[in-house]
Structure 1
Amino acid sequence: MPESTIYDPFVVTMIIIMLILLLIIGLLAHVVTGAAGYYYQQQKESAQQKEKAQEKNGNATAITTTIILLLFAAPLFAQDSQTAGAITQTGNAYGGLSATAFYCMAGVIAIELLVVFMLLHYLRVFLSKERSPEAAAAKAAVAQKRRVNIWNKMNKFRPVEQEAEITMVHEYDGIRELDNRLPPWWLYGFYVSIFFAVIYLWRYHVSHTAPLSGQELEIAMAEAEQQKAEYLKKSANNVDENTVQLLTAANEISSGEKLFIQNCAACHGKAGEGIVGPNLTDDYWLHGGSLSAIFKSIKYGWPEKGMRSWKDDLSPVQIAQVTSYIKSIHGTNPPNAKAQQGELYKEEAANDAKTDSLANKVALSTPK
């Protein structure tokens, strides 16, 4: 017949721990009960006698509860081999115990530990009550004197009897000036600040082993640009009309040209000269000639004017490539170019307008 799980080393260890804790609880309960009885016998008051009885009842209740829990947990971990096999199949065993038996035994141990701490607390309370008032007062006086000595050492006060030795000649309206030294805590703080200043001066301005605040800003900005570039490489499809950048690489322009011929030449011509749609090589634009405006027109379209949206057919990267290609053919003057449409747009004028707007903002924000 297979061996019962009660002989498992893990189970035996937990049982031994519970028994040891139970023995400790019994000893502590006996000591606490004796201390309480002695204390209440000295007081000779009925109210305190009642409290003694409640204390004994509480200890007895705690011990009884622990024993009941132990008796309740015993059948759970004393299982036969068939139950152990089921545990193995379910995979929820803890050292040969089911999850229920393990948590029950762990709960018993936790309750026993809680009872031990409670008994230790009550024992400490009764022992402190046994001290005489004179001893408690003496201990409090020693602690207060120690605190006063520490405070005086930190501030280095001179007693009133010695004021005549440090009195200076300056006196006004009964107020005398004393030649008191600065308190030690202030002096030590000042010495530490001097030491720190020397190290700071050497590190940042003499040996240059650490960057100054301006250099730290430059380093941080360079790292930010590098992180931005890496981010754009990994998340190129996050490009939109607000973050689009002009692409100048030959392969990017070539890809944009292929996409333009494949999707846009039917309306704008292979060279951007304009057929049904407007001419894309001159300085006149119906909806703006900036990089952002062109990207937006391709992405969302202008259905009321026959321009469809391409956001479902082209990725953001492809739209950026087409936009950069359109910017690259500006001013090429292809043959059979369509007549001018829209409003005049000059890149230089747009940049100047941005500069003037920025200058106005700076001027308005500068206090006079």
Structure 2
Amino acid sequence: MSVAHAHRELDGLRWAGLSGPRLEVFRALGEEYRAEIAEAVHSLPEWPALDRYARTDTGLVRLSRLSALTRVNHAQEYAELAAMAQGANQSERTLLLVNLRGDLPAQASSAGCSDLAWPGRVFAHNEDGGAELAGRLLLVTLDCAGEVPVTALWYPGMLPSNAFTLTGHGLVFGLDHLPVTEPAIAPGRHFVARAVHRARDLDEAVRLLTELPSAGGFAYNLAELRTGRVAHVEAAAGSSAVEEAGEGPFWHTNHLRHLDLPELVTRSSRERAKVLDALEPPAEPDVEWFLDVLTSPHPRGVCRQPAEGDTATLATCVVDLAAAELTVVPSSGKRFTCSVAAALAGP
């Protein structure tokens, strides 16, 4: 069975859709974006340090243990990465190292994202990444045979799991990097995040995140379209903490709010947290209010400009939970809105 491809150019964002057998889809994804993957991997600011660390005795031992645990406990997701590497003509080691970079002892970094949600109303995510990645981020819809589709923001070379995702089970994911300084010896966090895409509802997603340990850390911000429920799970260094939203705004940035673990907290994460914590929402907050918060710079909002450092807001994704609509605003481009059903159908 061959893989079907579809493409669409949004203003400021490319959208690709692939459907077919799982591993053939990932092999085709690697092949189609071979040049982008090679460029993205080797232009990562962390790449030289990652490569050096992987060649030290300490790095070799840790990476060997992390990769073995990942391969055993997340064989399906590991096979996806291997297939993508094959299609991209990259070594499996290279893509594995890039996908495990957040599972290694944290270095000083300005990486981060922001999430803001309101149960029953709106879920919003700012995807922040290296300013050099502007224009390289894609929207991809993967429709693997026998499974529900997923539509995700995708960094070429990464598993499509570390940013923003919609799934055919009616779940919305927004992930925030948590730079813990003492990661566990456990599977890689990208592989855990990808495995949770199979969850059929919010309760199952939360359960999986508390049962599947990861070496590094993510704050998983979750919403369920059917019920409008919102929750977040901090999963880091083999530990987890869960909080479900009550009434009112619910937010997360890039430092721990519930777990007590050693971490590197950036000034940017603290400043964005202060903005979100001090919000005075209108009585009936709508998509426009959320967009204003996420696309406005500090101190009005949490949009990060390239001038602030080496990290910028690359895209904003907002889901109207009541209307089941997705709005995407690329950093350089025009706003795009469609139904969740259309987003999952692909370009």
TM > 0.5 between the two?
no
Higher helix share: 1
State the TM-score, normalizing by the size of structure 1: 0.19
Higher relative contact order (CA 8 A, sep 6+): 2
Larger Rg: 1
State the TM-score, normalizing by the size of structure 2: 0.20
Higher strand share: 2
